[in-house]
Amino acid sequence: MSPPAPPQLPASLEASGGSTLASEDEWEGELVTGADLTGCVAERVTVSACELRGVRFTGAELRALDLRDTRVVDCELSGALMNKASFHRVELVNCRMAGIDLSNATLEDVRVSECKLDGANLRFASSKSTALTDCSLVDADLAGARLEDVRLEHCDLRTAQFAKASLQDVHLIGCELEGIRGAASMAGVTISPEAALAFALSLFAELGITLEAD
């Protein structure tokens, strides 16, 4: 697979407090540092050509968020509601995203590194040309998701849900797969040899196959 295209950021960014966010607001070419937007509610917000550092979106409701050409570093997005979001050429680094709702989101050319997405809701999300490295997705829900040209390296996918997902050119390299759910929907996926046993046991359990010693 080709690596995700990086964000197209301007040579310099305008420092901004970013202390408020309302429906249909637009942030463009801004460096937002340390803003606390916990619990804010806004729809159809556009963030483009920005860098967000240490921003808190805990429990925020940002439906139909349009995030493009943006780098997000050390931010808190746990419990954020971002269903139907659109991420294009986005990089997320060391972000806390446990329980985030990205259902029905569109992710294209997205790179996620060292992020915590335990219990994330990615149901029916569409992801293309996406790479996740050293991330935790324990109990993440990807039921019905459409993944194309996606690579996960050294990620924790224990008990993640893939029921009725559509996977094309998906690589799980060095990932933890114990107890993964929906394994029967993962036809065509490429996994590391060391993960084969954990994956097979999940598949056997799903198909009702029992191993019995002589």
| Chain-centroid distance, C-alpha 68 | 14
**187 pLDDT tier (thresholds 50, 70, 90):** confident
Question: Does the pLDDT of residue 18 top 90, yes or no?
Answer: no
Number of H helices, E strands in the chain: 1, 14
Q: What is the pLDDT averaged over residues 155-181? A: 95
* Burial classification of residue 113, based on how many CB atoms lie within 10 Å of its CB (0-12 exposed, 13-18 middle, 19 or more buried): middle
Question: Does the pLDDT of residue 172 top 80, yes or no?
Answer: yes
Side-chain half-sphere CA neighbours of 49 within 13 A: 9
Question: Does the pLDDT of residue 155 top 90, yes or no?
Answer: yes
Cα distance between residue 105 and residue 180, in whole Å: 22
For residues 130 and 111, is the Cβ–Cβ distance under 8 A? yes
Listed in sequence order, the DSSP H helices in the chain are: 196-207
Residue-wise pLDDT tens digits, 44-88: 999 999 999 999 999 999 999 999 999 999 999 999 999 999 999
pLDDT given for residue 34 in this prediction? 94
Tokens of 103: 């259902």
198 Cβ contact list (under 8 Å, min separation 6):
176, 177, 178, 179, 180
Question: Does the pLDDT of residue 138 top 90, yes or no?
Answer: yes
Mode of pairing for the β-strands spanning 41-43 and 146-153: unpaired
Question: Does the pLDDT of residue 103 top 90, yes or no?
Answer: yes
Question: Does the pLDDT of residue 209 top 80, yes or no?
Answer: no
In the CATH hierarchy, which top-level class contains the domain 24-207?
Answer: mainly beta
pLDDT given for residue 16 in this prediction? 84
Question: Does the pLDDT of residue 147 top 90, yes or no?
Answer: yes
How many residues are given for the chain?
Answer: 214
Q: Where are the domains of the chain?
A: 24-207
Tokens of 82: 């971002």
The residue with greater pLDDT, 210 or 28, is 28
For residue 209, how many other CB atoms are within 10 A of its CB?
10
Q: What percent of the chain has pLDDT over 70?
A: 99
Mode of pairing for the β-strands spanning 66-73 and 46-48: parallel
pLDDT given for residue 69 in this prediction? 98
For residues 48 and 68, is the Cβ–Cβ distance under 8 A? yes
Q: What is the pLDDT averaged over residues 32-36? A: 95
Q: What is the pLDDT averaged over residues 156-173? A: 96
